[in-house]
Structure 1
Amino acid sequence: MEMDGLEAFHNVLVIAATNRPDIIDPALLRPGRFDRMVEIGMPDQEARLEILKIHTAKRPLAEDVDLAAISKRTDGRSGADLANVTNEAAMLAIREYVLAGRPQEDDEIAKYRIESKHFEEALKKVKPSKKEGYGKFAEFA
């Protein structure tokens, strides 16, 4: 492989990642520059469920929280989007607890749970990130 202005190198492996494919310089994509590009798309329902499980593993969830149902409603959201939803749900629960004037001793706070209503509100507040530019390079993938 040879890049403009650089001497030829052999056995060079370039691995790169971006969440902004729309701003990749087209000169990098000219024929002969890279052998292949691999696009990792949005997670499917099963993957979203696993992502939600990871991001809620150490969080106190109420029994009414159905992660499978949430995963079905979050099509088109990335792993980062799902992390934002879980963080927002946690913040909503904490805010509710504090504003209700509840005791703030550690043992009392530990009893509080993130409820389904917190996820509902978080899903309304946290919009999916824009996916502009995704699929633009599908012919290379």
Structure 2
Amino acid sequence: MARAVASEAGLNFLAVKGPELFSKWVGESEKAVRSLFVKARDNAPSVIFFDEIDSLAMNRGRDGDGVSVSDRVMAQLLVQMDGVRSRGDVAVIAATNRPDNIDPALLRPGRFDRQLYVGPPNEKDREEIFSIHLRKTPYDSDVSMKELAQLTDGYTGADISLESFDSSVVTMKHFKTAIEQVQPSEIQFYQKFSATFHRGVRSDAVDING
């Protein structure tokens, strides 16, 4: 989704997974964060996308024995986000499946101004997800994408991708057995979190199932 936003707007796109910025060498992790923003400014207009932001922006003070590497990285991220040095035409987008682990300071206005809960796919989207996963998989004529979508209400794309088969040709029976074994992700926590912290995006303005 972040890449699509950048592409649609004609912006340069810089993507990084949170854990990739950590280094065992003192000061290197903070330098990596700073360098990322420098690169984004040099290539502006641009979009920085942090995947797994929770691993980079964890609640500070967890270690209890002084300032940890993660605390210093978080501090550097806040400096860059606050625009102590102007970010220029740089937009920052992040994704996480553990919003409860993110330091509240990063969610204040002026930093991540928009928070959007992306829910599980609807029936039509699940049908499309099955079609994509089966493009390179031989399957029997009895396999119905529509029926599979109906059987997987509440499943995410990740849940669907967990289904694997040890067979040269996959049948509907294989799918039904797999669906019985793979339970949908627990989403109630995320829905509750979204209701508490959601701000800035009207529910009727964005299709969260897309």
TM normalised by structure 1 equals: 0.71
The answer to whether residue 179 in structure 2 is matched with residue 137 in structure 1 is no
Residue 160 of structure 2: aligned partner: 82
Instruction: Please give the alpha-carbon distance, in whole angstroms, between the structure 2 residues aligned to 1:69 and 1:9.
Output: 52
For residue 106 of structure 2, the aligned residue among 2, 10, 28 is 28
More strand by share: 2
CA deviation profile, 1:18-73 (whole Å, cap 9, x unmatched): 12223222221123322212332211100000000000111111111111101012
Contact 1:65–1:115, Cα closer than 8 Å, also in 2: yes
After superposing on structure 2, the runs of 4+ consecutive aligned residues of structure 1 that deviate more than 3 Å are: 3-6
The answer to whether residue 92 in structure 2 is matched with residue 14 in structure 1 is yes
Residue 183 of structure 2: aligned partner: 127
Identity of aligned residues (%): 42
Instruction: Please give the alpha-carbon distance, in whole angstroms, between the structure 1 residues aligned to 2:136 and 2:87.
Output: 47
Change (3 A) 1:20 1:53: same
In the TM superposition, residue 4 of structure 1 has moved relative to its aligned partner by: 5.1
Q: Which amino acid aligns with 2:181?
A: K
Structure 2 counterpart SS, 1:137: helix
Instruction: Please give the alpha-carbon distance, in whole angstroms, between the structure 1 residues aligned to 2:137 and 2:104.
Output: 43
For residue 73 of structure 1, the aligned residue among 151, 155, 171 is 151
Structure 2 counterpart SS, 1:58: coil
The runs of 5 or more residues in structure 1 that have no matched partner are 95-111
Q: Which amino acid aligns with 1:9?
A: S
Contact 1:81–1:128, Cα closer than 8 Å, also in 2: yes
Q: In angstroms, what is the RMSD of aligned CA positions? A: 2.1
The answer to whether residue 191 in structure 2 is matched with residue 113 in structure 1 is no
Which protein shows a greater Rg?
1
Q: Which has the higher contact order (CA 8 A, sep 6+)?
A: 1
For residue 45 of structure 1, the aligned residue among 123, 134, 154 is 123
Aligned length: 117
Instruction: Please give the alpha-carbon distance, in whole angstroms, between the structure 1 residues aligned to 2:135 and 2:106.
Output: 40
Instruction: Please give the alpha-carbon distance, in whole angstroms, between the structure 2 residues aligned to 1:56 and 1:5.
Output: 45
Q: Which amino acid aligns with 2:171?
A: E
Residue 100 of structure 1: aligned partner: none
